[in-house]
Amino acid sequence: MPPDITQARRLLQERFGYPDFRAGQEPLVRAALEGRDALGVLPTGGGKSICYQLPALLLPGLTLVLSPLISLMEDQVRRAEEAGIRAAFLNSAQDAPARRRVLDDIARGHLQLLLVAPERLAVSAFREVLTRCRISLIAVDEAHCISEWGHDFRPHYRRIGLVRDWVDAPVMALTATATPRVREDIVTSLDLRRPERVVGSFDRPNLSWHVVPAEDHTAKVRRIRHLIRTREGPAIVYAPTRRTTDALRRSLAALGIQAAAYHAGLAAEERSRVQGEFMDGKLRVVVATSAFGMGVDKADVRTVIHYQLPGTIESYYQEAGRGGRDGGPAACVALHGKRDVGLLRSFVDRSRPDRRVLERVHRALTREVGAGERKQVPVSTILSATRRGRSPVTDEDTLRAAILSLARSGAIRIYGEVAPEGTMAPAEGSSTIDLGVRRGAPDLDPALRLRRAALQGLAAVQAYAGRGGCRRSRLLAYFGETGAKRCGACDVCLEADAEYPRQKKA
């Protein structure tokens, strides 16, 4: 007899220690066991991994999980193995012997769960191995990355739907944040066939939402110090860049607030130490970039502060959602000044260049490489070429973003590895880029669509930061959900001053 939801519930209790399914999990697991496609939009902390781990235990063959979070694959595999699942991952950080062992395990049918980045599907040797094994389920984690209108678009996600041409298995798409438009894009791009749709509520009543005015670094540090001193429990302070993270930690230390910094520029050992001490309760405050959001599942965070709002509502909701996972009250506080809007716009201009910049860089590459030719070109040479004349490109970040945009549009081709995070293989400080320029006028529409999506995201953030009504209601409306016009818990509804939010007892 095929496995059913009763067996899944029993394993949920025996292997994972949960008394029953959380909201939304059961219909997604049922769909997988019955061989049907599914789309699940479950809130951060809603237990998305259970939705494919239980089928991996019950279904014959392999459950293939496509995930962008390479840095977390080892931890995800460890947790799966603790539940008795034969699991492994494949990524570019492994050495060749380790990858070969995993491929051998796949070929022998030893594995029940395999995690890979979507980019792995482009490797012909990997595709060949998969075609020779039985795949019972394909799970697409962080599925919003497939949509150009999502907040973290990854081009390789767009090609996942092609896997259905050579693998006959149901597909389960999972994400924590997707607007109605992004949900439809996911369904279309993955060719989901009459999928089971589960969209959990984005409303978390235990979270209160606040935007506090603060125009400069000094004012923001003062607000953060006040919040940390007047509120109990663990706190996360998100900063937009590594430099700001370090500067903020130093400023807080000078005022007697002991906090640790966390960002990708620190050594792996230091990041591990900071995260471990925070999770164990030895460290109360962490100042971090968005890198701290991945894999941090501490239940009792009482305060999440943003030094500056991110560029999208989705990113803000995910990061702020680290608070109150135990169901207790938590405050989500965003500091906001008039200068922040300009900083966010400049980031969009650097990361998603406009048509003028793209055309200028394309002309420079055509001159340096030649139409229809391939060449290794020094970055400094390209930058010098784009700096001449009117409307120059003056910084390397903008240049690299323009080159990536042109590659995604098909106007050029970058040879060598393109890292899963979307950055070019030549690391910062690298001297050359190996690329080819296609003949003909470039089609810039794909790149310009991404720019429009980024600007729309920024406009939504600006609207949230205004005083146009209940914060909670505006967040819910953004994700297509209707809430009360007044929540009675945000700074707008409370008509709160800048000293809010005061501590509420759990």
Please state whether beta strands 412-414 and 432-437 pair in parallel, antiparallel, or not at all (unpaired).
antiparallel
Encode pLDDT of 100-142 as tens digits.
999 999 989 999 999 998 888 888 888 888 888 899 999 999 9
The pTM for the full model equals 0.84
Q: How far apart are CA 487 and CA 492, in angstroms?
A: 9
Q: How far apart are CA 137 and CA 63, in angstroms?
A: 5
Picking from 151-160, 168-177, 189-198, 271-280, which range would have the lowest pLDDT averaged per residue? 151-160
307 residue type, one letter: Y
Encode pLDDT of 416-437 as tens digits.
643 333 333 444 445 788 889 9
Q: How far apart are CA 20 and CA 367, in angstroms?
A: 63
pLDDT at residue 153 in the model: 78
Q: How far apart are CA 80 and CA 70, in angstroms?
A: 16
Question: Domain extents for the chain?
Answer: 5-199, 207-336+485-494, 347-450
Encode pLDDT of 213-247 as tens digits.
999 999 999 999 999 999 999 999 999 999 999 99
**Strand runs labelled E in 373-505:** 374-378, 412-414, 432-437
Encode pLDDT of 64-97 as tens digits.
999 887 767 888 898 899 999 999 999 877 888 9
Q: How far apart are CA 18 and CA 9, in angstroms?
A: 9
Do 5-199 and 207-336+485-494 agree at the fold level?
A: yes
Answer whether 105's CB lies under 8 Å from 180's CB.
Answer: no
- Give, as one character, the DSSP assignment of residue 409: T
Domain spanning 5-199: which CATH class is it, in words? Answer: alpha beta
Nearby residues of 218 by Cβ (< 8 Å), 6 or more positions away: none
Rg (CA), the chain: 24
Tokens for 398, please give them: 């903008």
**Burial zone of 328 (CB within 10 Å; 0-12 exposed, 13-18 middle, 19+ buried):** middle
Answer whether 118's CB lies under 8 Å from 66's CB.
Answer: yes
Encode pLDDT of 254-312 as tens digits.
999 999 999 988 888 898 899 899 999 999 999 999 878 666 778 899 999 999 999 99
pLDDT at residue 428 in the model: 43
pLDDT greater than 70 at residue 499: no
CB neighbours of residue 85 within 10 Å: 18
Q: What percent of the chain has pLDDT over 70?
A: 93
pLDDT at residue 423 in the model: 38
pLDDT at residue 382 in the model: 87
Q: How far apart are CA 307 and CA 287, in angstroms?
A: 10
Q: How far apart are CA 9 and CA 27, in angstroms?
A: 12
- For 347-450, the fitting CATH number among 1.10.260, 1.10.10, 2.60.40, 3.40.50 is 1.10.10
Question: What strand order describes the sheet that includes 196-199?
Answer: 87-90, 113-116, 62-66, 135-140, 171-175, 38-41, 196-199
**Burial zone of 281 (CB within 10 Å; 0-12 exposed, 13-18 middle, 19+ buried):** exposed
Domain spanning 207-336+485-494: which CATH class is it, in words? Answer: alpha beta
pLDDT at residue 418 in the model: 39
pLDDT at residue 503 in the model: 63
